[in-house]
Structure formats: structure tokens, C-alpha cells
Amino acid sequence: MNAEVDLEAERARRLDEVVAGYRIFAGYGWGDDGAGHISARDPEHTDSFWLLRYGVAFDRATIADLVLVGPDGTDALGPTDADAAAINPAAFCIHAPIHRARPDVVSVAHTHTGYGTPFAALVRQIRAISQEACAFHHDQAVFDGDELDITDLDVGARLASALGPYRLLILANHGLLTVGASVGQAVGFFVLAERAAEVEVKVGVSARVVSDDAAALVYRSVGVPSNGDDVFTWLRRSRLGGTVAGY
């Protein structure tokens, strides 16, 4: 009985954070064209994950708008009507292979941003030229592929393989993707990655890169998983005024 109560509480927490994540993204203007997604693995049905159903604006996301995506890409709870069951096929093809390959990952976050997308066109890792960049010191990878519209599970599997054990994946000519052991970590580190990409795009190749030892030292504070949760907490306070439970 206690296990059931714990599962329900954990599910509620994850769903609340997913909704908050979408609304935080909306606050930056991300996803206003429908591109992007945040997932949360279900704590009980661990081969399935929650997403915002396709067609709902990020700034209007509510818990009722979340759909549980099963391992076959359909609504694991059973559709009530066509609209309620809408699942973004790109989201399934990107997120499902990563969740399958990384049992440690609870959440995957990806959207197209003003700096992450242009930086991704450079097809390289973020350099240690800012504090935010050091959150990804030796904790990032690059997917160097031409596939930009990812609607194939085989391509998604290649993304998962490129990501490996890391926190950040730079999708060539596409954008940024982050993962975390909580929704807060995936979203918090995504925002840090976008800020790091902004510095890269603005200062160019002439930027001073800190030493490997210096970057490693910063990573021990800004790169710890709990910092992703802390950033997420601050984003909720500053952009949402606290919690969004009940939306």
C-alpha cells in the first residue's frame, strides 16, 4: 500500500514539473511554433513516458493535457477521442529510444531556441568559456547527422547512441537536448545549455577558453545534478511565481 501511495505521489510530482517545464519554455518564447517536447518517465510503467499532447500551446499546458506514451507510441491509457490522444511522432521517435537506452533518465528536454539552434550548426561541443558552459564539461556529445525531421525510431536510436552517458546532446543543425534524473534537472540544464550557446554565438572563436582544471573545478559546483533542480526551482519562482499544481 505504501508503495502505491509513493508511486502516486511521485507521478504527481513529475507531471507537475512537466507542466511547469513547458510553461517555462513558453516564457522564453520557445515552442511557440509547436516544436519541442519535455518528457517524464512514469514511475510505475517505466517503459512509458508523459508528454504534452500535440496541439496544446506550451503556455496553456495543464496536467490534464499530458498523455502517457506507451512503448508502441500510442496512448497507454487508451484514447478517449482523437484530439486527446494526439502524440507528436517526432517526440516519440526522439524520446523513446533515449528512455529505453538510459534507465537512469527520468526526463528528456528538447526544443528549438534562438542560440542553441544556430550553435548546433557549428557541429561541435560547447567550449568552457562561461560558468554555464562548465556545467557540461566532459558531459556532452554531438550527433553529427543530416536528419533534421526525426520521425524514425532508427534515427532516434542513433541519437541515444550519440548521447551515451552524457547530459547534453548537440543535434547538428537542429538544436540542443538535455536529460536528467528529474524533470527539473532536464529543464534546468537545458536553460543553462541555451545560455552557454548564447555566449558561444555572441563572442565567436576569439573567446578565451579556461583550462581543463578550472572547468573541472566549476563543474563540481554547477555541474552536480542538484544544480539542475536548483535552477529549475529558481525558474519556477521567477517565471511562474512558484508552483503550477492544479493547472
Q: How confident is the model at residue 218 (pLDDT cuts 50, 70, 90)?
A: very high
Domain locations in the chain as residue ranges: 2-240
What Cα–Cα distance (Å) separates residue 142 from each residue in 20, 105, 171?
A: 28, 18, 6
Cα-based torsion angle of the residue sequence 224, 42, 160, 191 in order, rounded to the nearest 10 degrees:
-40
C-alpha cell read off for 157? 536510436
DSSP letters of 107-154? EEEEE--TTHHHHHTT-SPPPS-STTGGGGTT-EEEE--S--S---HH
141: phi then psi, degrees, rounded to nearest 5: -150, 170
Count of C-beta atoms within a 10 Å radius of residue 142: 18
Return the pLDDT at 1. 39
pLDDT exceeds cutoff 70 at 2: no
Q: How confident is the model at residue 74 (pLDDT cuts 50, 70, 90)?
A: confident
Cα–Cα distance for residue pair 20/207, rounded to 1 Å: 34
Q: How confident is the model at residue 241 (pLDDT cuts 50, 70, 90)?
A: confident
Q: Please answer whether residues 201 and 150 qualify as being in contact, where contact means their C-beta atoms are separated by less than 8 angstroms.
A: no
Q: How confident is the model at residue 247 (pLDDT cuts 50, 70, 90)?
A: low
Return the pLDDT at 149. 82
Return the pLDDT at 76. 79
Give 105-158 pLDDT, tens digit per residue: 999 999 999 999 999 999 999 999 999 999 999 999 999 988 878 889 999 999
Return the pLDDT at 151. 84
pLDDT exceeds cutoff 50 at 182: yes
Give 29-61 pLDDT, tens digit per residue: 999 999 999 999 999 999 999 999 999 999 999
What Cα–Cα distance (Å) separates residue 228 from each residue in 144, 191, 192, 221?
A: 26, 9, 9, 11
Give 220-235 pLDDT, tens digit per residue: 999 999 999 999 999 9
Q: Please answer whether residues 52 and 138 qualify as being in contact, where contact means their C-beta atoms are separated by less than 8 angstroms.
A: no
Return the pLDDT at 215. 98
Return the pLDDT at 179. 98
3-class secondary-structure state, position 167: coil
pTM of the prediction? 0.94
53: phi then psi, degrees, rounded to nearest 5: -65, 145
Return the pLDDT at 75. 85
Count of C-beta atoms within a 10 Å radius of residue 149: 10
Q: How many helices (H) and strands (E) does the chain have?
A: 7, 7
Give 76-112 pLDDT, tens digit per residue: 776 555 554 589 999 999 999 999 999 999 999 999 9
- Listed in sequence order, the residues at least 6 apart from 14 whose beta carbon sits closer than 8 Å to its beta carbon are 40, 41, 42, 43, 50, 106, 107, 182, 183
Cα–Cα distance for residue pair 70/99, rounded to 1 Å: 12
Kindly tell me the sign of the dihedral angle through the C-alpha atoms of 204, 207, 210, 215.
negative
Run of H or E residues at 50 = strand 49-52
Fold exhibited by the domain 2-240: L-fuculose-1-phosphate Aldolase (3.40.225)
